[in-house]
Amino acid sequence: MPVTEIKKDIYWVGVVDWNIHDFHGYSKSPQGTTYNAYLVIDDKITLFDSVPAKFQMDLYHQIRSIIPLEKIDYIVCNHIEPDHSGAMPFLMEKIQPEKVFCSKMGHRMLLDHFHQPDWPYHPVQTGDSISLGKRTVQFMETRMLHWPDSMFSYIPEEKLLISNDAFGQNIASSERFDDEIDLAMLMAEASHYYFNIVLPFSPRVIAVLDEVAKLGLEIDMIAPDHGIIWRSNVPLILQAYRDYAEQKPNKKAVIVFDTMWHSTEKMAKAIAEGLMEEGVAVRIMHLKQYHHSDVMGALADATGIICGSPTHNNGIMPLMADFLTYMKGLKPLGRVGAAFASFGWSGESLNILTEWLKSAKIEVVEPGVKCKNVPDHAKLAECKELGRQVGKAIVAKVEAEA
């Protein structure tokens, strides 16, 4: 992918990974992402971030198409996760930079990852700035957005925020800018990314957005480390991040289930009817068809989460255990839930699901519905009534916050 001059003498020198599908357990379709690195040509030539080790030669050729690598003076590591620092040993050897800038936590993590105490580290903290010549770089630590080491680099003369993983999306494309691709698709991918990666750190997101506003940073371009660069929709993505973080209630619900012989599925459909009768829009997601990350993507935009699993070997279905583990770790806030289950003889799954939901701090509508074997008309009516009760709880939540 050719290098792109994103501002005068500032280049995108990243790589496109067209085929990656699974990112540390977060999977998505369509697949692919980019690892964005940025090169600023100034008195001090500076490289911001890098790429996974397996793409180091791609990065080499990108930079080499502009300047020989040894001309680079500084490297800034905004984030030490291997998809942005994996090429560091290679770069350090080729470039031998005068200075490597990173946060204090980044310094520790570079040591933990690469065990190279002799690299010329220059740990920085919020408020520190350096001059590149015509341009300045101001650093802002963004701890736990989404790792302890994360930081932003802001170039005021260019109104450019290099934001590491924040505001990123996993999109593989030949386009580089937000005004070159479909905006609805871009926002859907930004949301999908947020709800699978950034969600647990939502209080930090609000704090960082407030800090950016308080500092009065003028931003006309946000260059994240994954995906598309924002230049025509900067206010939109800033507001979207605040909205994602606040997770205000809405009249939408996701019913997620697994099944062996479809009884639980029949129950899911009856519950959906009850929700719809209360004016709540529903998505029904079978875990054999949807990956846990896709359910989280749907939950981005839904206050209700209703979970169903038959009893399986005195427990719940493995894919449901997988989903609940994943969802609980992402700490969604302000959700309303319920459980439903078919069983054959011992019937433990309803209680297990209910306890899981409670442990994830979801407000559970009880009792859920338990059905011995195949639901009859009366049992389906009970399911529909559960849907109505959950629907009422969701509507009450929406009205309370209106």
Cα distance between residue 308 and residue 341, in whole Å: 5
- Between 164 and 342, name the residue whose CB sits nearer to ligand FMN: 342
Per the CB < 8 A criterion, the answer to whether 7 and 26 are in contact is: no
Helix (H, G, I), strand (E, B) or coil at 339: strand
Regarding 289 and contact with ligand FMN (CB under 6 A), the answer is no
Per the CB < 8 A criterion, the answer to whether 13 and 41 are in contact is: no
Regarding 263 and contact with ligand FMN (CB under 6 A), the answer is yes
Q: Which region, judged by CB under 6 A, interacts with ligand FMN, from 107-115, 260-268, 379-387, 388-396?
A: 260-268
Regarding 342 and contact with ligand FMN (CB under 6 A), the answer is yes
| Catalytic entry in 107, 226, 291, 292 | 226
Any residues with CB less than 8 A from the CB of 72 and at least 6 apart, and which? Answer: 39, 45, 46, 47, 63, 95, 97
Regarding 368 and contact with ligand FMN (CB under 6 A), the answer is no
CA angle 233, 237, 239 (to 5 degrees): 115
Among 52, 274, 297, 310, binds ligand FMN (CB under 6 A): 310
| Catalytic entry in 74, 193, 241, 244 | 193
Residues touching ligand FMN: how many (CB under 6 A)?
A: 18
Among 311, 330, 338, 350, binds ligand FMN (CB under 6 A): 311
Regarding 345 and contact with ligand FMN (CB under 6 A), the answer is yes
- Between 77 and 255, name the residue whose CB sits nearer to ligand FMN: 255
Cα distance between residue 60 and residue 336, in whole Å: 50
| First and final C-alpha spacing in the chain | 47
- Between 75 and 256, name the residue whose CB sits nearer to ligand FMN: 256
193 classed as catalytic: yes
Any residues with CB less than 8 A from the CB of 213 and at least 6 apart, and which? Answer: none
- Between 248 and 262, name the residue whose CB sits nearer to ligand FMN: 262
- Between 378 and 400, name the residue whose CB sits nearer to ligand FMN: 378
61 classed as catalytic: no
Regarding 313 and contact with ligand FMN (CB under 6 A), the answer is yes
Q: What kind and span of H or E run contains 380? A: helix 377-401
Cα distance between residue 316 and residue 311, in whole Å: 5
Regarding 170 and contact with ligand FMN (CB under 6 A), the answer is no
Work out how close the CB of 385 gets to ligand FMN at its nearest, in angstroms, rounded to a whole number: 19
Q: Which region, judged by CB under 6 A, interacts with ligand FMN, from 5-13, 194-202, 212-220, 341-349?
A: 341-349
Cα–Cα separations (whole angstroms), residue 307 to 9, 200, 351: 52, 21, 11
79 classed as catalytic: yes
Among 116, 314, 325, 359, binds ligand FMN (CB under 6 A): 314
11 classed as catalytic: no
Regarding 261 and contact with ligand FMN (CB under 6 A), the answer is yes
Helix (H, G, I), strand (E, B) or coil at 213: helix
- Between 123 and 347, name the residue whose CB sits nearer to ligand FMN: 347
Q: Are strands 336-343 and 304-308 parallel, antiparallel or unpaired?
A: parallel
Per the CB < 8 A criterion, the answer to whether 303 and 249 are in contact is: yes
How many CB atoms within 10 Å of residue 269?
Answer: 16
165 classed as catalytic: yes
Regarding 116 and contact with ligand FMN (CB under 6 A), the answer is no
Among 292, 323, 286, which residue's Cα sits nearest to residue 28? 292
Regarding 260 and contact with ligand FMN (CB under 6 A), the answer is yes
Regarding 125 and contact with ligand FMN (CB under 6 A), the answer is no
- The alpha-carbon radius of gyration of the chain (Å, integer) is 24
Work out how close the CB of 308 gets to ligand FMN at its nearest, in angstroms, rounded to a whole number: 8
Per the CB < 8 A criterion, the answer to whether 5 and 11 are in contact is: yes
Per the CB < 8 A criterion, the answer to whether 230 and 180 are in contact is: no
Work out how close the CB of 376 gets to ligand FMN at its nearest, in angstroms, rounded to a whole number: 13
Instruction: Give catalytic residues, as residue numbers.
Output: 24, 79, 81, 83, 146, 165, 193, 226
Residues found near ligand FMN in the complex (CB under 6 A): 259-264, 310-314, 342-347, 373
